[in-house]
Structure 1
Amino acid sequence: MVRSRSALRRTLRRLAVSLSAAAVTLAGTNAAWGAARTEPLRDVLLVGNAQAGTVSFIDGRTFQNLGSLDAIPDLEERLAAMNPVERAGYEAVNAAQGYRKFVDDMALSPDGRTLYVSRGNLADVVAFDVKARTILWRHKIEGFKADHAALSPDGTRFVVSALTAAKAVVLDTADGRPVTSFPTGTYPHGNDYSPDGTLLYNQSIGVTSLPRALNVLKGDKRVTVVDARTHRVLRTHRFAYGVRPSVFTADNRYMYAQLSYLNGFIEYDLNAGRTVRTVTMPFSDRARAMSPDAYPQNSAHHGMALSGDERKLCMAGTIDDYVAIVDRPSLSVAGYRHYAADSLPYWTATSVDGRHCFVSLSNQDVVSVIDYATAEEVARIPVGRFPQRERLGAAPQDVLDSLATG
């Protein structure tokens, strides 16, 4: 009986030691999970280098180029897999643009580890594990071009315009599966979530290969307003010309937009459904001599951003080789930054602190950083060939350390 009690006590002690060790292990694991969940993210600017087929990562505050990711590691495989119709469409889009656009748009997942890329003329969307530099999934977009895209605020949906199919496709970011789609105007282009995340705006530009004289045949140029949760079309706003880059005020009241052929922009009241003001910007001598049919993809100005305090607009004068800082609500120009001839300012975005405007100078392969307060250039960042689209994101340091540099 004594020996039984002694054996029982030894067993209980061993069990206590085992439970204590398990508790320490579990605590350590929970601490590691907690550290992973609270891992600090570094603000970055993503720059899509359209012709290079790469995405540059720029520190969002210091403007240092941190490296890049190859977004077309499977290019030869993709081209070889195209059937004759797909290949003909690929070549036709290349000819219409005058170059091969491999990166059209992109976004980083909320944890900064997955990059979603709309691959323009390859007509697909691909998700990359950034650190491993591997493709997680790929989805072929209907038609011949995957255009501008937007990531939902919660990171679960990636919306991309199927340019030649007159629709926007909503993809599940977990596996690339199409969730739904919604109808758009002709040649859907931009996708923008409203500042409060409740609405999604899709802008269509019409058939850009037709000359201005045949504008009536370019199709339906409109802004389609969609419920961001259900993707149900709520209303449409139609325009005489294609709707280019646009920004939306926090109260969902005003849209500032560039239109095809317009050397300037409009202020549009979304509640009233009408253009309130049209602002014409000055032509450069070189731009004044150009035929409208020589404007790149019908765009005189292509690139618009709104400062963090919504007091100023940043406008890329694409054919004029300048960027203009415009005051709200007067819509008067506060300052210009002029660039060398044929620099092709072709997109703009506002920095995470709201104080700077990033301007893609596509023909110079650089991003120019403009101070909203002074309209002066404070930095110039070399990137890849033909930078255009710019998007904000954030990523952990181990992901950024994995990027290709040099």
Structure 2
Amino acid sequence: MFTGNAKDGTVSLSDAETFEPIKSIDTYPDQNKEDKLEDSLDHSTPKLLNTFLRENYLEHANVSPDGRTLYASRGHVGDILAIDIETGEKLWETDPVTLRTDHQVISDNGDYLYTSDLTSNQIIKIDADTGTIVGKVSIRNFPHGNHLHQIPSLGNEKMLINGSLGNMVYPDSNWDPLPHQLSFVDPESMQTVRTVDFENGVRPFAITEDGQKIYVQISYFHGFHEYDTKKDRITRTRYLPKTNHVPERERDFPVQSAHHGIGLSGDGKYIYVAGTTSWYAAIIRRADFELVETIPVGKYPYWVQTTPDGDHAFVPVRGENEISVINYANAEEVARIPASGGPHVIESETVPEEVL
């Protein structure tokens, strides 16, 4: 399990079975090794943006299918790096013209990365071997999370699915003129084939294995929607309880998120939600949408990633600098793993032992 740490730009590796920490990878291996102007930009740009926004030296980290290369979207630096996991050395760097690179996803064969270029309103397609940008698609507005998944109603090939944030400038949800939607994109041609509008910014979303349902979190909303990809409409909505940790004003929500993190158990029976402002993890039975349990985990749980065996959820708890490990079937926390500053997005991959 690879946990990206937004505040210090590192990635914490943990064993997905024993929950033991393994090592840390620095996604700034080029620090003080490039020319002075490049070094200055890499350090001054995030520091300037961090003054007004949350600290973000690392937005997302993905791993190649052979477990040897880490791809880092470095948030407020606005670039993407490839790093050799064994040596920690930089393999390539790509600098799109943007103030913020966001979430990304890697193709199953490891040939391409698809990275949200937030402030340019596009997703860029990157050759994973060379870092060359080979395609782009416009997304409205402020592209955020990305998934690759087959959607039967849209054909036999996998779709690139993106959720857009809409307004990220105004402090609350009272007025938001910008589009916020799911976009379904052909990852080969980089052409959009379907968009679905939502009432506010699209946050994390989880897709069933058969591609029939998508569970979508929305800015400021304490709960989530079920979107049916065949019927092309929202079929169910689950509201979740608030606790006394929730700020009175929406403008005090961390990055406009009431909840930020959603996943499915390996057998598809349970939905797991990171109740960010309520400081809990919630488990919902998918069949009847009943709330099974809320588990207190500490300040600002922020993501959900199911372990490869499908039995546990890894949840970074940003305010505690820890990862909570929850067992789906028993609805209980079974482990705590120390992380670095601001644990954020988690991905999983098999890594050869010699690389570690």
Q: Return the TM-score normalized by structure 2.
A: 0.93
> Alignment partner of 1:290: what SS?
coil
Deviation at 1:192, TM superposition (A): 0.6
Identity rate, percent? 33
Aligned match of 1:211: 171
Separation of aligned partners in 1, 2:35 and 2:252: 30
Q: Cα–Cα, structure 1 residues 247 and 79, in superposed 2: closer, same or farther, change >3 Å?
A: farther
AA aligned to 2:54 is: G
Aligned match of 1:321: 279
Q: Does 1:305 align with 2:260?
A: no
- 1:322 and 1:339 in contact (8 A); partners too: yes
- 1:104 and 1:118 in contact (8 A); partners too: yes
Separation of aligned partners in 2, 1:166 and 1:226: 14
Q: Does 1:382 align with 2:338?
A: yes
Q: Does 1:252 align with 2:211?
A: yes
Deviation at 1:257, TM superposition (A): 0.9
| Unmatched tracts of structure 1, length 5 or more | 1-44, 401-406
Deviation at 1:185, TM superposition (A): 1.5
Aligned match of 1:274: 233
Of structures 1 and 2, the larger Rg is shown by: 1
Q: Does 1:399 align with 2:355?
A: yes
- 2:42 and 2:77 in contact (8 A); partners too: no
> Alignment partner of 1:398: what SS?
helix
Of 248, 260, 285 in structure 2, the residue corresponding to residue 290 of structure 1 is 248
Aligned match of 1:9: none
- How many residues are matched? 351
Separation of aligned partners in 2, 1:91 and 1:389: 21
- 1:335 and 1:374 in contact (8 A); partners too: no
| 1:138-192 CA distance string (max 9 Å, x none) | 0012210010000001100011000000000000001000010111111110011
Of 140-149 and 207-216, deviating more is 207-216
Of 285, 296, 301 in structure 2, the residue corresponding to residue 338 of structure 1 is 296
Q: Greater helix share, 1 or 2?
A: 1
- 2:203 and 2:219 in contact (8 A); partners too: yes
Aligned match of 2:154: none
AA aligned to 2:214 is: M
Deviation at 1:214, TM superposition (A): 4.8
Q: Does 1:147 align with 2:102?
A: yes
Of 177, 190, 197 in structure 2, the residue corresponding to residue 231 of structure 1 is 190
Aligned match of 2:329: 373
Separation of aligned partners in 2, 1:224 and 1:201: 6
> Alignment partner of 1:68: what SS?
strand
AA aligned to 2:198 is: F
- 2:61 and 2:347 in contact (8 A); partners too: yes
Of 145, 151, 159 in structure 2, the residue corresponding to residue 199 of structure 1 is 159
> Alignment partner of 1:137: what SS?
strand
Deviation at 1:60, TM superposition (A): 1.4
Separation of aligned partners in 2, 1:241 and 1:180: 28
Separation of aligned partners in 1, 2:34 and 2:179: 32
Q: What pairs with 1:4-403 in structure 2 (closer than 5 Å)? A: 45-76=1-32, 80-81=36-37, 90-91=46-47, 93-99=49-55, 101-194=56-149, 198-217=158-177, 219-287=178-246, 289-340=247-298, 343-400=299-356
Q: Cα–Cα, structure 1 residues 204 and 75, in superposed 2: closer, same or farther, change >3 Å?
A: farther
Separation of aligned partners in 2, 1:169 and 1:82: 22
Separation of aligned partners in 1, 2:58 and 2:114: 15
CA RMSD of aligned residues (A): 2.0
| 1:67-125 CA distance string (max 9 Å, x none) | 111111224567953699998864553234232x1111111111111111111111000
Q: Return the TM-score normalized by structure 1.
A: 0.82
- 1:72 and 1:102 in contact (8 A); partners too: no
> Alignment partner of 1:346: what SS?
coil
